Structure 1
């Protein structure tokens, strides 16, 4: 436009008529918060968050936008904050949430611990329906474990589960903490003991985590502590690099009679004495089968199975519907300290013990068998007969010997001399 000229909008059509296929991929794309607003209705319907790769595929199919992984991750954070609220605000609702949970589900037990700066440290929740099922019909064998959280503030989730009459997982209690160590497990087991006590013939099973072992000696020192044989078998397989070692251990802990158990352990001693001594130092009472005086128990009956799930767990509803007392509202809970991980995030995480690999079995290049390589192969390598040297004839000599290119003079271009 020249100086002094102007233009005026006479009519505005809000419907877009541009074809999105005509845009080039190098042009400016939608902002991450715009992508989050497009995904917010779907998140409200499904109730669970989307993965960044799913967001990339969905935006490509629905809107023809090619998003980078970083922008898809930021869009995921925006849509979660808009639907569920920011993580910092969720910590402030914890006192009101625990009060509301016990209000709609009487006899539910909750406990929370903060530091001197009112920052979140631990949380324990045991629903009344789970406590009722455990106290009445569930077998008193408790499995405890922890798993890492992948949110903004990371942390650990502690779980305590049992098995019902159909050998299905029955949740007993769960909690949250900052790290998995002796202090956190001691606090969680103390709250668990205050909720269920020490039932008769109770037993707790876990992996060989040092924090769990130390906490068990402090809290449940009179309760038998067993180790998960699945984790032990995987540790034996990884420590001694022999698959048949874990198979021998599996046959040992599955034995119902003492002679069968001793036979498998002696066989393991012949194969690898170090592994045998390690298992004996752990103690056979921690992984072998226990003798039982009765042929059956009431916890295995169908009526017990139905009674275990007779309780109800009611939802707390939206926070706008809560009627929280003033003393609960006055409690302040801040989020835990944020610790940024050092270095660049890894593209692939380290697999835990027991996770399957790529499914490929590496064999020895000499005997073509597994469980070892060519450096420690005990099978002798067969000697190969020396190959006879091929005879050289004048015809083959002419073929194998390449003719030499004659030199030419640089000045006159003739052969026989140089410049």
Structure 2
């Protein structure tokens, strides 16, 4: 609507704006031009159910040109010009673009805000196009004069590099601040069933994710869980068993470990059940979590920002922007020279698995399924569904040492 008003030289006033209703009218109170729209259930879209599209106001009564689009709208207009967060038009270029393409004058500050929005949009496109759908959540205290808390969410790319998505500065960590933060995140990353979050056992985070992202899955950091085990349960060997139960790719292996835990410490067994095993056990997690079992990615960012956290808010955010600009520039430089089909770390992982797979025997069942023998136990591989009964192919999404010989037996590349 802002673009329509800008192109057709009129302005409007928002009378009502809720999730259910949207009502606007011409800035001139005597004009007949109005639009009413109703929100579509289960969607962020609105359907116009009433519109008087003819302006009855006199052009001679106008005191300025039409409505100037918001920085967000202008950012949307130019975001296709950003290949990544380090490329694309600068504020002066945006001013010229708006002048030539839309006959609209905007200030440098307005153009700068649009530039920042477009950069954020480029990051979001990167998340949807190339990132694993796992968002790691963490927080850290600020150490400047006014204190406060820095909230962080990050993803991990295919080369296990950190991919920061959003930062938020709040007065303290509580339900309201997390609710606000995830509400802002949802503007750019929608709730969906293939999305997963990983955080510590903070009740405020869990509640906010459940409210704002009800369709996503929420996992807890195994390191935080193990810290509690060490603190409250002193029996020797328990921590290692919990870690093995968490890491187990097969449900049967998890059952063996959790049974051992209950035999050694029924109290710990009950504690782990209450923590919800689906949130910390890889084999039971309801979504694709890959091998992201901790909040280490977000904590690593907090560690890098150890000194900037002492700065006032604006210099802190400038430091974050400079850090991300450097990271993405260096990665783009490396990726431009990379010629292999998969990332460097995944190629090394596959190379190690190829060595382990030597000597395995493949017995084909059909065009996609095979039984692979030669390991500790026989495995059933389904190349169409990308699964293996060892569990690694299912969870990590990278061919396991059983899938690789099954792939080779069909004359295909990994």
Q: Same fold (TM over 0.5)?
A: no
* Larger-Rg structure: 1
Q: Which structure's residues are more often strand, by fraction?
A: 2
Please indicate the TM-score interval, normalised by the length of the shorter structure. 0.3 to 0.5
Q: TM-score, normalised by structure 1?
A: 0.41
